[in-house]
Amino acid sequence: MPFLALEPSVFPANLLTEVGRTVNGRTWWVMYTKSRQEKALVRTLGAQQVPHYLPLVAREQLVRGRPVTSYVPVFPSYVFVYGSVAEREQCLKTNRVCQVLPVANGPELCEDLASVQTMIEAGCPLTVESRLEPGHWVRVRSGPLEGLEGTILKRKRQTRLVVAVRMLQQGVSVEISDYLVEPIAAPVWLNMPADPSFSPLHA
């Protein structure tokens, strides 16, 4: 089965673990792009050396009747940029961005995105959760997702671990065995109502 090449989706490589968690005159922005313009925007950002992240997962699609595996955005139309005000303006000048969403809590967003990337790198089949549901808070105690925290949901005889991107009020989930997780105290934010001023966009 043919594979379309995986393009770089995070720049620099340590954006989610180091660079994006520092105070250096940059801030996080969420770019809501025009339909299917995420990769084009990321190519431009890469050429301009602007830190960015576009979570991608492999999906099988039919192209002219042949199965082809390509890499598609986990959250369609969303590109996460860690840049200055001037770099924000550069994004708008590409004519690929519909709206720029300000990020009130950059470290929180960076933490959430790092968890999503951990799940992607583990090669887990992911399901996008378009809305977040209440569940029991757990930590993965072993395996490729060791240390990851999230909520556990029971769905169609499956146990699923859900990792949230709180700003988007969305997340991703993966099937997991019960014995791999342990219950822990829920974080304070889990019991807080969603910010009524934020209305997530959908492609």
Percent of the chain with pLDDT over 90: 69
pTM score: 0.88
**What is the rounded distance in angstroms from the CA atom of residue 92 to the CA atom of residue 41?**
10
**176-189 per-position pLDDT tens digit:** 999 999 999 888 77
Q: Where are the domains of the chain?
A: 10-104, 122-190
Could you tell me which CATH number the domain at 10-104 has? 3.30.70.940
Tell me if the domain spanning 122-190 has CATH number 1.10.3470: no
Q: Please state the separation of Cα 183 from the chain's center in Å.
A: 24
CB atoms within 10 A of CB 120: 18
Residue 12, preceding peptide bond in cis (omega within 30° of 0): yes
Is the pLDDT score of 97 beyond 80? yes
**33-88 per-position pLDDT tens digit:** 999 999 999 999 999 999 999 999 988 877 788 888 888 999 999 999 999 999 99
| Pair 46, 71: CB distance under 8 Å | no
| Pair 104, 166: CB distance under 8 Å | no
For 152, counting Cβ atoms within 10 Å of its Cβ (0-12 exposed, 13-18 middle, 19+ buried), the class is middle
Contacts by 9-15, CB closer than 8 A, 24 or more apart? 9/42, 9/53, 9/54, 9/55, 9/56, 9/71, 10/52, 10/53, 10/54, 10/117, 11/45, 11/46, 11/49, 11/50, 11/51, 11/52, 11/53, 12/51, 15/51, 15/52, 15/53, 15/82
